[in-house]
Amino acid sequence: MRKKHKPITEPVADREITTEADYFARKCGLTREEAQRILDEANRQSRPQLESNKKARH
């Protein structure tokens, strides 16, 4: 009998963020952790701006 494969439990968004960080790290010559930190900071800074743009539209 063969072992059953475990289903992928990692959310798709997390996988996309990790893939983006890997690409960014390769492109810029950074480690994955450095790239992830930069992307996290950029997302944190842009999030309030995005929320205010949504409110302005309504």
The answer to whether residue 25 is domain-embedded is no
Q: What is the pLDDT of residues 12-26, one digit of tens each?
A: 778 888 899 999 999
What's the confidence (pLDDT) of residue 17?
Answer: 86
State how many domains the chain has.
1
What 47-50 contacts at long range (C-beta under 8 Å, 24+ apart), as own/partner pairs, is: none
The answer to whether residue 15 is domain-embedded is no
The answer to whether residue 41 is domain-embedded is yes
The answer to whether residue 23 is domain-embedded is no
Q: Which residue has the higher pLDDT, 19 or 8?
A: 19
Q: Which residue has the higher pLDDT, 49 or 14?
A: 14
- Token readout for 45 is 């800074």
Angle of the 32-57 helix axis to the 12-28 helix axis, nearest 10: 120
pLDDT of residue 52 exceeding 80: no
**Domain housing 36:** 31-58
Q: What is the pLDDT of residues 29-45, one digit of tens each?
A: 999 999 999 999 988 88
The answer to whether residue 42 is domain-embedded is yes
| pTM of the full structure | 0.58
Q: Report the distance separating Cα 52 and Cα 14, nearest Å.
A: 25
Q: How many angstroms from the chain centroid is the CA of residue 34?
A: 13
The answer to whether residue 47 is domain-embedded is yes
